[in-house]
Amino acid sequence: MDAKVQLYIPRSFNSFQGFSVKDIKEHFSTEHMEVILESHDDRIRLCTCCVHKLGIMKDRYWVRARHLRVFNWSVTINFWREKRHCSHCKKTRSEWIDFICPTSPHMTLELAWWINRMSEISAVLQVSKLDSIDKMSCYAVDKYILTRLLQGYQIPDVTQISVDEVYARGPIQRKKGESRDDLFLTVIVDQRTHKVIWVSKSRRKEALDSFFEMIGKEACQRIKVVTCDQHRGYAERVRQYCANASLVWDKFHLVQAFNEALNEERKKEWDKYGEQSLKEDDLLAGKYKYIYLTKSANRSKTDRRHIEEDMKKNERIAKMELIKEHFHKMFHCQDKLEAQIMLSECYEWAWQAKAFHLLKWIMSVRERNEFWNYFEHRLTSGVSEGINRAIKTLKWMAYGYKDMNYFALKIMQRSGYLNHKYALQWMYQKETNA
Ligand SMILES: [Zn+2]
């Protein structure tokens, strides 16, 4: 009979490459389990830095690495890790262990994947509390797994994309040599699936270049529509890379710009009345400003009364109101021709009211195809509104992000494909092909 006692070893504990389980120690009082591993003699030791074969042994140290819980018991994997001479690095190096997370040597890779998986549905901070793992290790591990998933990441074929910017950091976090643009991220969304397909650092034009270069010439040719904000210099880049794409200025940004121009007019008008009348009736200042920025249908009764009184006093403001309503209605037009007529009317009325800010603004858009393309494609970056909310929630949950690369990865994880549903299988495919 064999003298060696056969232990019952759960199958999940027999997956440590190069090692076998020698013993399992249970500590009932602390609900903790220690799995003691024994190295196989024929194991090939590789360098953690250069993955070359290591030479003679110099030293060894006892490793206690956190592993996945079993029946809510905490588990550590315990083994001797060797330090050997690496002829390539010309130094003593620790050996490479397959099942240990490379960025956090006190954690198994299994646990790292699990933390990443949990962080898809919860904040990393919560995951760290749930598993009582140090917060910073959790962040590091989550980022490491996301970076690994990114290596197999495939940008899906797209024909309609929207480009929008997201405010990612406050000005306090601005580093030396960075401009305001660096506080933003450029988010690229597939209009068909409403998923984030890529996130670039900064909101500069170059942010788009990296995306177009990554997907390649042919994929660029397949893009038919690009929606974006008129103020950013994206147009030039889109024309340069995507010969077949028509550019659409985003409706929400246009309305915003229009309202700003209109507000300039109102301010000018009010300046004429001087301080005295402002004291009497603070209609355009402070809290009343928002009344003007909302559509008439959305205003309350009191708000409407305010405006009516105001209009009696000031005919020009009344005219401005009409122009605004007209402009908003224009987006409901059936076709471009109908919309063109409406914008011409806005222009005429602005001329009659001598609203030069508004005139200037209308002139700046009415000759541009990007403006009229909306009536052909009916696309706005409005799809990103939902995504913007998801991104904001992400930011709140983590109390902001200092690391922009990590934030970009998290956006792609939450609102895109960089998660276990998609990117994991892409990563496996790439690894098996390689
Ligand atoms: Zn080495």
Mark whether 125 and 264 lie in a shared domain. Answer: no
Per-residue pLDDT reduced to its tens digit, 315-353: 777 788 888 888 888 888 888 888 888 889 999 988 888
**CA angle in degrees (0–180, nearest 5) for 165-291-332:** 60
Structural contact between residues 87 and 110, judged by C-beta atoms closer than 8 angstroms:
no
Per the prediction, the chain carries an average pLDDT of 85
Q: State whether 317 and 395 are in the same domain.
A: no
Separation of CA 13 and ligand 1 centre (Å) = 29
Please check whether residues 94 and 190 belong to one and the same domain. Answer: no
CATH number at residue 242: 3.30.420.10
d(CA 28, CA 242): 65
Q: What is the pLDDT of residue 173?
A: 78
Tens digit of each residue's pLDDT (9 = 90 or more) over 70-111:
888 999 999 999 999 999 999 999 999 999 999 999 999 999
Q: How far apart are CA 205 and CA 185, in angstroms?
A: 11
pLDDT (mean) for 404-421 = 92
Q: Give 3 Cα–ligand 1 centroid separation in angstroms.
A: 41
Q: Tell me the C-alpha distance between 348 and 323, whole Å.
A: 10
262, 368: one domain:
yes
117 pLDDT tier (thresholds 50, 70, 90): very high
Tell me the pLDDT band of 32, cut-offs 50, 70 and 90: very high
| H-state helical runs in 294-403 | 301-313, 315-330, 336-352, 356-366, 369-372, 374-377, 383-397
Assess whether pLDDT exceeds 80 at residue 119: yes
Segment among 112-116, 134-138, 237-241, 374-378 with least mean pLDDT: 374-378
pLDDT-derived band at 232, boundaries 50, 70, 90: low
In the block, residue with structure tokens 């205003």: 299
Q: What is the pLDDT of residue 1?
A: 47
Residue 262's pLDDT is what? Answer: 86
- List the 225-228 sheet strands across, edge first: 195-201, 184-190, 160-167, 225-228, 246-249
Quick one: tokens of 421?
């549903």
* Shared-domain flag, residues 267 and 232: no
Q: Are residues 86 and 231 located together in one domain of the fold?
A: no
d(CA 323, CA 319): 6
> What are 336's two structure tokens?
């471009």
Q: Which of 252, 253, 250, 254 is closest to 377 using CA atoms?
A: 250
Give me ligand 1 centre to Cα 50, in Å: 4
How many residues are given for the chain?
A: 434
Distance CA 404, CA 265 (A): 39
Proportion of the chain in helix, strand, coil states, percent, rounded to 5 = 50, 20, 30
Q: Are residues 181 and 226 in the same domain?
A: yes
Q: How far is the CA of 51 from the centre of ligand 1 (A)?
A: 6
Residues with Cβ within 8 Å of residue 183, at least 6 apart in sequence: 167, 168, 169, 170, 171, 173, 174
Domain hosting residue 362, numbered range: 251-377
Q: For residue 280, name the pLDDT band (cuts at 50, 70, 90).
A: very low
Of 216-225, 237-246, 281-290, the range with the lowest mean pLDDT is 281-290
pLDDT greater than 70 at residue 285: no
Tell me how far the alpha carbon of residue 220 lies from the centroid of ligand 1, in angstroms. Answer: 42
Q: What pLDDT, on the 0 to 100 scale, is given for residue 4?
A: 60
Task: Check if the beta carbon of residue 197 is closer than 8 Å to that of residue 137.
Answer: no
Report how far residue 121's alpha carbon sits from residue 35's, in angstroms, rounded to the nearest whole number.
30
Type of residue numbered 95 = E
| pLDDT score for 382 | 59
Predicted confidence band of residue 384 (pLDDT cuts 50, 70, 90): low
pLDDT for 279: 46
Q: How far apart are CA 19 and CA 39, in angstroms?
A: 4
Of the candidates 186, 196, 173, 178, which has an alpha carbon nearest to the alpha carbon of residue 232? 186
Q: Is 431 exposed, middle or buried, given 0-12, 13-18 or 19+ CB atoms closer than 10 A? A: exposed
Give distance in angstroms: CA of 139 to centre of ligand 1: 27
- Interval between CA 44 and ligand 1 midpoint (Å): 14
Taking the centre of ligand 1 as the mean of its atom positions, its distance from the CA of residue 114, in whole angstroms, is 29
Asked if residue 210 and residue 267 are part of one domain, the reply reads: no
Q: Are residues 166 and 141 in the same domain?
A: no
List, for residues 1-15, the tens digit of each pLDDT value: 455 666 777 777 778
- CA of 40 from ligand 1 middle (Å) equals 22
The reply to whether 45 and 124 lie within a common domain is no
pLDDT number for residue 395: 85
426 shares its domain with 358:
no
- State in Å: Cα 106 to ligand 1 middle: 21
Give the distance (Å) from ligand 1 centre to CA of residue 90.
7
d(CA 319, CA 322): 5
Report pLDDT for 328.
87
pLDDT tens column, 175-218:
888 888 888 888 999 988 889 999 988 888 888 888 999 899 99
Of 57, 78, 100, the residue at which a domain comes to its end is 100
Q: Are residues 281 and 339 in the same domain?
A: yes
Are 226 and 208 contacting, i.e. CB atoms less than 8 angstroms apart? no
| Number of structural domains found in the chain | 4
pLDDT digits (tens, 9 = 90+) for 35-73: 999 999 888 999 999 999 999 999 999 999 999 998 889
Q: What is the pLDDT of residue 2?
A: 52
Ion ligand 1 contact residues with beta carbon within 5 A: 47, 49-50, 86, 88-89
pLDDT computed for residue 52 by the predictor? 94
What was the pLDDT predicted at 40? 92
Angle CA(336)–CA(340)–CA(344) in degrees, nearest 5?
A: 175
Q: What is the mean pLDDT of residues 212-231?
A: 88
Question: Quick one: pLDDT at residue 71?
Answer: 84
